[in-house]
Amino acid sequence: MNPTNNIVCESFGWHGEKEIFKFQITNSHGNYVELINYGAIVKSIVVSDKVGNKENVVLGFPTLEGYVKDQSYIGATVGRFANRISNAVFPIENKIYHLDKNDGKNNNHSGSAGFNNKVFDFIVEEDAVIFSLESKNGEGGFPGNLKTKVTYKWTDQNELKIEFLAEADESTPLNFTNHSYFNLSACQDKIVNHRLSVKASKILESTADYIPTGKIIPADGYLFLNNRLADIMQEKGLNLYYVLDRDSVNEKPVCELLEEKSGRMMRVYTSYPGVQLYTGDYLNCNIVGEHNKLYSSFDGLCLECQYYPDSPNHEHFPNTIFQSGQVYQETIIYAFDVIQ
C-alpha cells in the first residue's frame, strides 16, 4: 500500500457518448503521473531533475483531441497483440485467422481491435487506478471474448508500476505493452544524446518491414552499453526487438536511460522476455503536444516490454497463445531517479 498517494479524477472531455476522465496520482515528493481512460493512456510523468525542476518526461497532449487524432500510439496501452503479425494471419491448431492489414500487408498493434483508441472502464483504489475493457469475439479478426485489466500504481520511489491481466474464453494470441515515448530532457532536446543500456546481447533479425525472420542473432553493432543513441543510430531510426539476457524474471533493471544535462535516469524492470526499442523516427503530429510543440522524429523513444513480435507464426518463439481460462499476467515498471 502507498497511502501517501493522492489520486484526483476530473473530466477530460467526451468521446462519442462516453465521458473521458483524467486521473492524477501524486506521491509524497510532489511528483505525479496523469492517466486517461481513453486508451488507458499515460498522459504525463512529472519528475524532478538534478536541481529540483519538475517536468513531464513523456510525450502527450493537453486535450483529448490530440489523442483521438494521434497515429503514433502516444502513451497508449497496446493490445490485444502488440507489434506486428506477418501477412495479418496466424494459425491456432488447424484454423487460420485473418486480421486487419493496417501496416502494408501486415497487422500492427491489432488494427481496428487495438486498445489504443478504446474507452476503458475504471476503478480508483487507494493506491491504484485500474482500467478494464472487454473485447468481443471476432473483433479485428481475433478469436475469443477477452476481459483485460490494466493497473497503474505510482509509488513514493517514483516508480510507475503497470500490470496487465487478461483472460479469454477461447484460445487467442495476447501481447500487451505500454507505448509511452520518453524524453528525459522534457523535450528541451531530441533523444539523440540520451545514454541507453539494454541487458541484451541478442536481437531478432527482421525484414525491412520489421517482421522477424525467425532468427535470433547477436546484437553486435546494436549493443547498448551506456551508449549515446546517436552513436548507435548513425542518423537512422531504430526499431529493434532485444531478447533479454536472463533465464528467469529477476529484480535487476533490463534497461537504463540517462539524460546527462537534467541528471534524470529511468530504469525499466519487466516480467517480459524482451523489449522493442523504437526511436520515434515516424513521429509526425499535427496537434501541439504537452511541451508546446508539434512532435516530430526523435522527440521521444519507446521501450516497449513485450513478447516477441509475430510470435504466433514462429513455433520456437515464446508461446503467446493463451488457452480458454488461462490467465495472462505481466508487469512493466518505469522507475525514475536523479544522478548528480
Q: Please write the tens of the pLDDT for every residue from 182-205.
A: 999 999 999 999 999 999 999 999
pLDDT digits (tens, 9 = 90+) for 36-57: 999 999 999 999 999 999 999 9
From CA 117, how far away is CA 102, in angstroms rounded?
A: 15
pLDDT of residue 247: 67
The separation between CA 163 and the C-alpha centre of its own chain, rounded to angstroms, equals: 12
pLDDT of residue 41: 99
- Which pTM does this prediction carry? 0.97
pLDDT of residue 248: 66
pLDDT of residue 340: 84
**Are the CB atoms for 230 and 236 separated by under 8 Å?**
no
pLDDT of residue 234: 83
Instruction: Please determine, for residue 106, whether its predicted confidence score (pLDDT) is greater than 90.
Output: yes
Instruction: Please determine, for residue 311, whether its predicted confidence score (pLDDT) is greater than 80.
Output: yes
In a 13 Å sphere around the CA of 136, the CA atoms on its Cβ side amount to 4
Give the CA radius of gyration of the chain. 19
Q: Of 1-10, 237-246, 284-293, which range is least confident?
A: 1-10
From CA 312, how far away is CA 214, in angstroms rounded?
A: 11
Q: Catalytic annotation on 304?
A: yes
From CA 189, how far away is CA 4, in angstroms rounded?
A: 33
pLDDT of residue 251: 80
Angle at 258 between CA 255 and CA 262, to 5 degrees: 155
Average pLDDT, the chain: 96
pLDDT of residue 338: 98
Nearest CA to 333 out of 275, 278, 289 is that of 275
Considering 34, 55, 179, 259, which one is annotated as catalytic? 179
What are the phi and psi torsion angles at 262 (to 5°)? Answer: -80, -20
From CA 258, how far away is CA 49, in angstroms rounded?
A: 11
In a 13 Å sphere around the CA of 94, the CA atoms on its Cβ side amount to 0
Q: Which residues of 124-150 are buried (b: 16+ CB within 10 A; e: fewer)?
A: eeebbbbbbbebeeebbbbbbbbebbb
Considering 139, 163, 304, 330, which one is annotated as catalytic? 304
pLDDT digits (tens, 9 = 90+) for 131-170: 999 999 999 999 999 999 999 999 999 999 999 999 999 9
Q: Catalytic annotation on 314?
A: no
Instruction: Please determine, for residue 235, whether its predicted confidence score (pLDDT) is greater than 90.
Output: no
Mean pLDDT, range 256-262, rounded to an integer: 98
Instruction: Please determine, for residue 3, whether its predicted confidence score (pLDDT) is greater than 80.
Output: no
pLDDT digits (tens, 9 = 90+) for 72-95: 999 999 999 999 999 999 999 999
Q: Of 91-100, 175-184, 240-249, which range is least confident?
A: 240-249
Which cell goes with 258? Answer: 540517462
Categorize the per-residue pLDDT at 262 as very low, low, confident or very high, splitting at 50, 70 and 90. Answer: very high
